[in-house]
């Protein structure tokens, strides 16, 4: 009667699920999305690793570059210090060379051959018709009162009496180089002093009754010929630096250098720095504060170089720009101008500055300082070698690291190309 009741069972039946094309498409899309996410996450991770590696390599290169700069700066500083020691050694060699400039040893020098200031005064007086001779005769006749005359108030003296040297050979050499007329030249501070030495009448002729001519006539002498006068305020002074902590205020002149950077063999120094100037004339002689070295003696000698022998002087010709002399009598006046022949004996010479005992003591002190300075130079050379070794090591590491960085850049570029193709 209930035919429909036969269509059900007391046991439940499993429900069959049939996948439609739409549900299949959803699953495929989800799987593809997961794969892309995994790929993107892996790509980002690799890019991050590349960037970190790049930054580390660059940091390493920067650090090595900084070290290279530090070592280069250290070497530069050490070389500067070494060059200063080289100059100090050369200066001391100049001093020691001056002690050996005469043919006999320092302890056996005959003092009877050394000229005193008194002897030079006598030699100037022998030139009785010269301007210097008349001035010294005036001092002889009037003594200290002569310095109070209006004519002499501006006068410093005569060239030959305003400087001293360390030995007789230098005295002979410098006097011959300058010549007797220059050695007898009068030195005035200002142009007013120059004008006071000589006046002229209305016809333009020299007034023999005034100035130095009038003084000559008053003591029974006549002033013959011309005479040189140096006016300090009219001279162009040396404009460079002075040797540091030098009581003599020597000029800090650049020493001659051969193409290989070394000083020529036999070079002893500059003539202008071999003149000893009295402390009263070292500074504030002129209104601008200059002393005799940077005015008078710089104009007389300029950068005249002094060598031990003529042969060494000639070998150094490429380094000589303003003349040179040698202890054995060689003279180069200027480029291409040589003084040949036998030596001329000039009877007005620079006096000597120190006694034998002082000279010997100074010699020993200089030798001691020379040894100390050479020891310091050796230590600096060792420091330079050590810094060079460190510099070369760091440069090697830098080049190795740079090659690694170049390889890394090439690999990174290859990866970027492959990633772009995916």
Cβ atoms 135, 229 nearer than 8 A? no
Overall pTM surpassing 0.85 (yes/no) = no
Report how far residue 119's alpha carbon sits from residue 34's, in angstroms, rounded to the nearest whole number: 115
| Residue 355: both structure tokens together | 């006694």
Which strand ranges, in their side-by-side order, compose the sheet holding 324-326? Answer: 267-270, 305-307, 324-326, 331-334, 337-339
What is the reported pLDDT for 32? 46
Report how far residue 10's alpha carbon sits from residue 250's, in angstroms, rounded to the nearest whole number: 131
Using one digit for the tens of pLDDT, what is the confidence trace for 23-55? 334 343 444 444 444 445 555 566 667 677 778
Report how far residue 279's alpha carbon sits from residue 246's, in angstroms, rounded to the nearest whole number: 12
What is the reported pLDDT for 144? 57
Using one digit for the tens of pLDDT, what is the confidence trace for 123-150? 888 888 888 888 888 877 665 555 556 6
What is the reported pLDDT for 106? 41
What is the reported pLDDT for 178? 95
What is the reported pLDDT for 418? 62
Q: Which residues of the chain have pLDDT under 50?
A: 1-39, 102-115, 357
């Amino acid at each position: 009667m209930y035919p429909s009741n036969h269509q059900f069972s007391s046991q439940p039946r499993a429900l069959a699920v049939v996948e439609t094309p739409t549900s299949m498409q959803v699953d495929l899309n989800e799987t593809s999305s997961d794969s892309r996410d995994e790929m993107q996450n892996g790509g980002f991770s690799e890019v991050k690793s590349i960037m970190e590696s790049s930054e580390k390599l660059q940091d390493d290169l920067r650090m090595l570059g900084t070290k290279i700069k530090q070592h280069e700066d250290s070497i530069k500083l050490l070389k500067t210090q070494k060059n200063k020691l080289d100059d100090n050694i050369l200066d001391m060699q100049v001093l020691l060379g001056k002690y050996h400039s005469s043919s006999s040893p320092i302890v056996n020098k005959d003092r009877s051959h050394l000229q005193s200031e008194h002897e030079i005064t006598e030699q100037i007086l022998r030139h009785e018709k010269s301007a210097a001779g008349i001035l010294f005769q005036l001092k002889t006749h009037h003594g200290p009162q002569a310095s109070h005359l209006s004519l002499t108030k501006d006068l410093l003296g005569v060239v030959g009496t305003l400087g001293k040297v360390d030995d007789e050979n230098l005295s002979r050499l410098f006097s011959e180089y300058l010549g007797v007329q220059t050695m007898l030249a009068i030195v005035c501070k200002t142009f007013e002093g120059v004008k006071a030495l000589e006046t002229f009448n209305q016809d333009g002729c020299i007034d023999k009754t005034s100035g130095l001519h009038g003084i000559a006539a008053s003591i029974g002498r006549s002033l013959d010929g011309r005479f040189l006068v140096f006016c300090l305020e009219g001279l162009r002074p040396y404009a460079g630096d002075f040797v540091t902590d030098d009581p003599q205020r020597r000029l800090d002149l650049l020493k001659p250098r051969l193409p290989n950077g070394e000083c020529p063999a036999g070079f002893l120094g500059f003539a202008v720095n071999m003149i000893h100037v009295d402390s009263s004339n070292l500074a504030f002689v002129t209104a601008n504060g200059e002393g005799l070295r940077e005015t008078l003696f710089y104009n007389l000698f300029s950068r005249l170089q002094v060598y031990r022998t003529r042969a060494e002087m000639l070998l150094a010709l490429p380094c000589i720009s303003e003349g040179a002399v040698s202890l054995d009598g060689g003279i180069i006046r200027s480029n291409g101008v040589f003084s040949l022949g036998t030596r001329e004996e000039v009877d007005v010479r620079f006096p000597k500055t120190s006694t034998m005992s002082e000279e010997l003591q100074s010699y020993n002190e200089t030798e001691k300082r020379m040894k100390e300075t050479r020891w310091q130079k050796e230590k600096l050379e060792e420091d330079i070698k050590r810094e060079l070794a460190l510099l070369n090591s760091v440069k090697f590491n830098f080049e190795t690291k740079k090659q690694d960085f170049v390889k890394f850049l090439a690999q990174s570029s290859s990866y970027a190309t492959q990633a772009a193709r995916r």
